[in-house]
Structure 1
Amino acid sequence: MNPRRICSVLTAWAALVAALLLPSPAHAAAPASPAVSYSNPLVNQRADPHIFKHTDGFYYYTATVPEYDRIILRRATTIQGLSAAPETVIWTKHASGEMGAHIWAPEIHFIDGKWYVYFAAGRADDVWRIRMYVLESSAANPLTGGWTEKGRIATPMDSFSLDATTFVVHGARYLSWAQKDPAIDNNSNLYIARLANPWTITGTPVRLSMPTYGWETVGHKVNEGPAVIQRGGKVFMTYSASATDSNYCLGMLTASASANLLDPAAWTKSPTPVFAGNAATGQYGPGHNSFTTSEDGRSDILVYHDRNYKDISGDPLNDPNRRTRVQKVYWNADGTPNFGIPVADGVTPQRLSSFNYPSHYLRHWDYRVKLEANVTNLADSQFRTVSGLAGNGTVSLESANFPGHYLRARNGEVWVDRNDGSTAFADSASFHRRPGLADAAGVSFEAYRSPGQYLRHYGFLLHVQPVAGTLAAQDATFHQQ
């Protein structure tokens, strides 16, 4: 047989085998959790943020103010709207005695038809004698209604305690908080108990976690600021660790929702932080988070504070520049939450899933852009859609974990490269955003300098190629998540 003929046959067989080994495409409708778009920071000089989405169509926001002297509320119909929403002072510290100093970490909850605010406070004459307290309001609008002091949350240990949060699992309401055990050489541990009513613990509290890992004990030995999110029959409790400077970070405990949550053995601690500062994005000391949901109710949102600089002069608690920030929570294939990294200031990034391989996302690997499933290094698969470097109504796709690097065409292949400021780079990294070629609910990206050529995957690598035919249109269609 002619050698060329043999080579041609072998090539055809190789292509057939490769096609058989590839997973079959499953054409996707719009994703269950579409993209969200917010701009960070949400609110400057507001720490320990808590956002509660109520059934009245409003988001309610509270946070620690730098003066540590009052409790504030905002409300808006959107998360971004909280940024400019008027702020109302609903309560001010006492002039003397209890609740007279260090007004910290308020949370607002709606329980059995009434509003409750949990917060921590010291005494005017002993500012570090910090305990947990509760306010109550029966008003429909908590910004305009009156508030009643329900008093201190009593715990068996009368010691430094703060950061109370409440949640319900299978109809049972729990309180979790941070507290100092005088018999343990650390600053605070995490505890949990059942609630008889919103301000009264029932039964014996149990300790869930102590700061033992190195990343939990930098500067101070701290577990504090618990927050709970639930999904798929699991309860995930995030918490903050280490000092409140650039070392502050989030850890996580996990339990089955059907387990006895008052049994410490029911909880598993992640051995590494699940959310930490990132020098590339310029975000330091992320922590003291809460959770809410997007406006359409289809995405979970991480709410937290951080600073946009690393070095602090003096006590971090005297530095006023912790800012409230928000970003989307993604979920791994194993059902665990993936918080990624604290994203750069400005518009939040998104993920692009394939129309015909909906479990696969665009991601960069050694700067080459490819299509891949189960991308647990979340930031590799996140891109910010920004104004196009070439202008003229285009967009560019900026890497979330390599700011200043953009998707750009190189000899028909797509790479993530650093912007060198040249016109040639700007042109190769700019695209016209079009309705999805295979699904108008999706999106396709037409190359700025090559009309008719689109970002598309081929062999699970991304290229800029002409689009002809149904399959090519599907390969060039993505959903924003």
Structure 2
Amino acid sequence: MSRPSRRVVLTGLATLALSSTVTPAHAAAPASPSATFTNPVAEQRADPHIFKHTDGYYYFTATVPAYDKIVLRRATTLQGLATAPETTIWTKHASGVMGAHIWAPEIHFIDGKWYVYFAAGSTSDVWAIRMYVLESDAANPLTGTWTEKGQIATPVSSFSLDATTFAVNGVRYLAWAQRNPSEDNNTSLFIAKLANPWTISGTPVEISQPTLSWETVGYKVNEGPSVIQHGGKVFLTYSASATDANYCMGMLTASASADLLNAASWTKGSQPVFQSNAATSQYGPGHNSFTVSEDGKSDILVYHDRSYKDISGDPLNDPNRRTRVQKIYWNADGTPNFGIPVADGVSPVRFSSYNFPDRYIRHWEYRAKIEPNVTNLADSQFRVVTGLAGTGTVSLESANYPGYYLRQKNYEVWVEKDDGTAAFRSDASFYQRAGLADSASGLSFEWYGSAGRYLRHYNYLLYTQPADTATAKADATFYAE
């Protein structure tokens, strides 16, 4: 974005107590309130999978750097997984199959039993990667006994991994990545019905192969499928390219009422839906899974990435992929919006308007405003951080421009870079108050530099202005989402 020429601010406008030209009925508190986390959740844990069970626990497993075992931890909150004790539930075989490259475990609860899907090579050929399943009938899978159910057999015996399972309209499916010997690539994506949790039923169907430029950097790869359903649609995300900074996520979409075993039912997006972001220092995001927030009201993206771009040697030997989580938002057309991999530390939120509930605070050419349908999600996300002015204040830091904050200038609100001055610290600091128009669920932000002046919108632009009328209070009230 380029900075526009600074327009002259009239003194009269700067001192006028502005009022909205329209006063619609206000909205109820949002159905999906904010869900914030501190990232990363787990260091040196790649290919993360988190399952929220009916017992109130989140169960978390991931690939360990030594590729030699399957670990599991649980907690009653997503953030609690960061410090939860970890249990090794299975260790690779000393020889033969399942003896090397223990990759990408996933834990699922199906028909009253726990199942872990994982990939493994052999001690005689570490690249003879195939898919395997463990089963436990214990209430607590960390303390239960696990039984090997064996390999998931596919019609073609070739490099295969990243099995995941999901049910649509009561039918259970398996999706995975496999080398198709008739194609010039590493892996494509397949789907099949399951006769039981470890046995494919019928003939698998290939639904995607790596052909696009961003799917073929370093290696030609489609892998790590994961499914989320919303609004009658099935969204299958996957990862592509080499496991360095080029690693990224793509997405296939199908109707939940379609024949999912017909490749024509699936539409592939032409661009990645999630990829490296230099501004936030997040590189190679991918191999994701999905879960939900503690209150069940927000969908959560789980993924790994690295905090640096340059890797010495084979990326598979670099141990520093870490598990991260952030909230998913849904576009007006019903598609998921993953935004960008957010910076380490506290994750950002969006602020919707109390009296224009479809509009969010966002920046456009650095000017702050409220606007609907912000598909460039990060433009409407802000981290609520300790105020630059201190003394119990907060500052609102741009998600996609770290170091840039909402600040008032001549009572207009812009997103600008912290220049280190006392004036900027004052201009970019606010007291977070209970919502002036909804003290139970809403928020209002009183400017640190002038008591009684709040962040508020007028003609959809943001200002710091007095909130001394009912309309002004409504204009100065927001919901964190």
Q: Does 1:222 align with 2:225?
A: no
Alignment of 1:185 with 2:187, yes or no, is no
In the other structure, the counterpart of 1:81 is 80
Query: How far apart, CA to CA, are the structure 2 residues paired with 1:391 and 1:370?
Result: 25
User: What SS does the corresponding residue of 2:81 show, helix, strand or coil?
Assistant: helix
Other structure's SS at 2:261 match: coil
Structure 2: runs of 5+ lacking an equivalent = 1-19
**Structure 2 equivalent of residue 43 of structure 1:** 42
Whichever residue aligns with residue 210 of structure 1, its letter is: Q
TM-superposition CA deviations, 1:142-198 (whole Å, max 9, x none): 000000000000000100000000000000000000000111110000000000000
- 1:99-114 to 2 correspondence within 5 Å? 99-114=98-113
Q: For residue 464 of structure 1, what is the aligned residue in structure 2?
A: 464
Q: Does 1:327 align with 2:326?
A: yes
Q: Which residue of 2 aligns with 1:118?
A: 117
1: distance between equivalents of 2:40 and 2:468? 43
- SS of the counterpart of 2:472? helix
Who is 1:453 aligned against? 453
Deviation at residue 258 of structure 1 after TM alignment: 0.1
Secondary structure of the structure 2 residue equivalent to 1:100: strand
Q: Distance in 2 between matches of 1:40 and 1:270?
A: 28
| Secondary structure at 1:215 match in 2 | helix
Map 1:88-167 → 2, pairs under 5 A: 88-167=87-166
**1:10 maps to what in 2?**
none
One-letter identity of the residue aligned with 1:262: L
Match of 2:438 in 1: 439
Tell me the secondary structure at the aligned position of residue 316 of structure 2: helix
Letter in 2 for 1:426: R
Partner AA of 2:452 in structure 1? G
How much has 1:26 moved relative to structure 2?
3.7
Q: How many residues align?
A: 461
Do the aligned residues in 2 keep the contact of 1:437 with 1:476 (CA within 8 Å)?
yes
Structure 2: distance between partners of 1:448 and 1:125: 67
Aligned in 2, Cα 1:26/1:250: closer, same or farther, shift over 3 Å? farther
Alpha-carbon offset, residue 37 of structure 1: 1.2
1:345-380: per-residue Cα shift (whole Å, max 9, x none)?
000000000000000000000000001000000000
- The 3-state SS of whatever aligns with 2:177 is strand
Name the residue aligned to 2:410. 411
Deviations 1:330-356 (A, max 9, x none): 000000000000000000000000000
Counterpart of 1:338 in structure 2 is 337
**1:165-180 paired onto structure 2 within 5 Å:** 165-180=164-179
Q: Is the 8 A contact 1:58 1:78 kept in 2?
A: yes
Give the CA deviation at 1:25.
2.6
- Tell me the residue number matched to 2:390: 391
Q: Deviations over 1:68-113 (max 9, x none)?
A: 0000000000000000000000000000000000000000000000
For residues 296-346 of structure 1, the C-alpha deviation after alignment (integer angstroms, 9 at most, x for no partner) is: 000000000000000000000000000000000000000000000000000
In the alignment, the residues of structure 2 paired with residue 226 and residue 36 of structure 1 have an alpha-carbon distance, to the nearest angstrom, of 24
Residue identity in the other structure for 2:213: G
SS of alignment partner, residue 201 of structure 2: strand
Question: Does the CA contact (< 8 Å) of 1:48 and 1:63 recur in 2?
Answer: yes
* Alignment correspondent of 1:287: 286
Paired amino acid for 1:458:
Y
One-letter amino acid matched to 2:139? A
Q: Is residue 245–residue 312 contact of structure 1 (8 Å, CA) maintained in 2?
A: yes
Task: Give 3-state SS (helix, strand or coil) of 2:184's partner.
Answer: coil
Equivalent position SS for 1:126: coil
SS of 1:127 mapped into structure 2: coil
Partner Cα distance (1:212, 1:26) in 2? 50
TM (norm. structure 1) is: 0.95
Q: What's the counterpart of residue 199 of structure 1?
A: 198
Query: 2-side partners of 1:27 and 1:216: how far apart?
Result: 45
Q: Percent identity?
A: 74
Q: CA deviation at 1:449?
A: 1.0
The answer as to whether partners of 1:26 and 1:358 remain within 8 angstroms in 2 is no
The ranges of structure 1 where at least 4 consecutive aligned residues each deviate by more than 3 angstroms after the TM superposition are none
2:353 is the counterpart of 1:349: no
Q: What is the CA deviation profile of residues 403-453 of structure 1, one whole-angstrom value per residue up to 9, with x for unaligned ones? A: 000000000100000000111100000000000000011000000010000
Residue by residue, what CA displacement relative to the aligned partner does 1:13-45 show, whole Å, maximum 9, x if unpaired? xxxxx95xx6x6341111000001100000000
Structure 1, unaligned runs of 5 or more: 1-17
CA RMSD after TM alignment: 0.8
Asked if the contact 1:61–1:73 (Cα under 8 Å) also holds between the matched residues in 2, the reply is yes
Q: Which residue of 1 aligns with 2:242?
A: 243
Structure with more relative contact order (C-alpha pairs < 8 Å, separation 6 or more): 2
3-state secondary structure, aligned to 2:328: strand
Distance in 1 separating the partners of 2:239 and 2:218: 13
Q: Distance in 2 between matches of 1:344 and 1:125?
A: 42
Name the amino acid aligned to 2:93.
H
Q: In the alignment, is the contact (CA less than 8 A) between 1:375 and 1:381 conserved in 2?
A: yes
Q: Counterpart of 1:72? A: 71
CA contact (8 A) 1:219 1:243 kept: yes
Task: Report SS of the residue matched to 1:81.
Answer: helix
Q: Distance in 1 between matches of 2:401 and 2:45?
A: 27
Q: Which amino acid is the alignment partner of residue 463 of structure 1?
A: Y
Structure 2 counterpart SS, 1:212 = coil
Give the match for residue 476 of structure 1: 476
- Residue type matched to 2:462 in 1? L
SS in 1 for 2:97: coil
Give the SS at the match of 1:326. strand
Q: Secondary structure at the match of 2:127?
A: strand
* Aligned-partner Cα distance in 2 for 1:454–1:313: 50
Q: Tell me the distance in 2 between the aligned counterparts of 1:213 and 1:367.
A: 33
Once the two structures are TM-superposed, the CA of residue 469 in structure 1 deviates from its matched residue by: 0.8
